[in-house]
Amino acid sequence: MTPHRPTVLLGFAQAFAAIEAAWSLQEAGMQVIAFARRGTRSALRRVRDVHIHEVTPPEESVEQCLADLRMLVERVDPDAVLPLDDAALWLTSCMVFDRAVVIGPSPDSAAVALDKNAQITAAQAAGLLVPPTRLVRSAADLTDDLTWPVVVKPAEAVRADGDHLVRPRGTIAADRAELDEARSGLSDGPLLVQPYLHGTGEGVFGYVDDDGVAAISAHRRVRMVNPHGSASSACTSIDVPPEIERAVRRLISDLDWRGLFMVELLRDEDGTAWFMELNGRAWGSLALARRRGFEYPAWAAQFAMGLPQEPPAPAAPASVTARHLGREIAHLLFVLRGPRSQAVSGWPGTWATVRDLLRVSPGDRLYNWNAHRPSVLVSDTIGTLAELVAGRRVKR
């Protein structure tokens, strides 16, 4: 008799971590099914044996998207559901599953994962340093008594606006004029106002099992796609400082967390690590963890389904730098465009950027690369650059 292969439904297929998560699950012997926004394409379709089903984009209709997801769950009857991005986390927290387990936080914990102000309170209680933060109800409440430069962040990762799910936007402003220019594009909901800190992004990763936080690891950003502030195009592995590990373990324990997590930090020029946010789902640099032997999606899925957790965590993980080809090219394009705020100092030089991008070290690895499926990397690179061009056209 053929042994049962657990089925995991993951989404959205467009999530940055989708390809690496699918490979992690497949290599652990699981069948992968994905849901994607109707009318969109993703490089995940190039991953062998992943079946993709389209649903109504929640940005068009939350109600219809939830109905589509419920019908899909009923039809494919998965053993587990893995939300890969904030929209999927929001949607799955609204659903009740008869049989499938959610590889992620409970609805109460998911609410914290999507509420950056609640995260700040929890992080401070856990012993993490948080920049001075002011909560305002809307952009209209941004007053003149600010210390420049500032970063204005939406307090909600995503939020429902009627029947539409929206991802609010923030901004960096060097002075009142820049803030007034950006005001119309800011979130209609609550905003967090913090001093703009110069530094380097770090991330601490793990998942939760019966003993709490398991297989903890970390990275430091080498380059951001947009030096103005964005996700990384390249990152390198680092050790987790003991004081940070203690605080992260306390934070996750206090939240009664389950599933995957990433704690994002910013280390300033004086070496102080500041808490930025908690991601309650798979993160963008999942490739780095997997190249070091940290199979977080597989481990979290196995634990959620009560299966033996394998392969074992690496005893001496290799030092690795992971680079995303499409985002590295996009980084160069942003460098050529130049900064959009006077608050951003130390903008990379063109020739120094070209030199850094062309330098390949023995420890370098690529996101979304599989020697048996090179078309995945090609599709992902083309898709990344196409999204960049489309996004810039929209902004114009």
Q: 12 with 101, same domain?
A: yes
Q: Considering the entire predicted model, what is its pTM? A: 0.93
Q: How far is CA 324 from the centre of its chain?
A: 14
Q: 34 with 87, same domain?
A: yes
DSSP H helices in 222-348: 242-254, 286-291, 296-304, 325-337
pLDDT, tens only, 43-53? 999 999 999 99
Q: What is the pLDDT of residue 396?
A: 30
pLDDT, tens only, 131-178? 999 999 888 888 767 888 999 999 999 999 999 999 999 998 888 888
Question: Which of 195, 226, 242 is the C-terminal boundary of a domain?
Answer: 195
Annotate 132-152 with DSSP letters as a single string.
--EEESSGGG--S---SSEEE
Q: 178 with 92, same domain?
A: no
- The CATH code of the domain that includes 50 is 3.40.50.720
- On the question of pLDDT at 24 being above 60, the answer is yes
- Could you tell me the residue range of the domain that residue 148 belongs to? 134-195
State how far the Cα of 257 lies from the Cα of 254, in Å rounded to an integer: 8
State how far the Cα of 149 lies from the Cα of 197, in Å rounded to an integer: 9
The structural domain count of the chain equals 2
- On the question of pLDDT at 228 being above 80, the answer is no
Q: What is the pLDDT of residue 391?
A: 65
Position 276 in a domain: no
pLDDT, tens only, 234-267? 999 999 999 999 999 999 999 999 999 999 999 9
CB 83 within 8 A of CB 58: no
Question: Which of 195, 226, 247 is the C-terminal boundary of a domain?
Answer: 195
Q: 156 with 76, same domain?
A: no
Position 122 in a domain: no
Position 169 in a domain: yes
pLDDT band at 186 (very low <50, low <70, confident <90, very high): confident
Q: 74 with 156, same domain?
A: no
CB 275 within 8 A of CB 123: yes
Residue that the structure tokens 């297929």 belong to: 13
Q: 33 with 85, same domain?
A: yes
- On the question of pLDDT at 208 being above 80, the answer is yes
Q: What is the pLDDT of residue 393?
A: 40
Question: Which of 195, 210, 226 is the C-terminal boundary of a domain?
Answer: 195
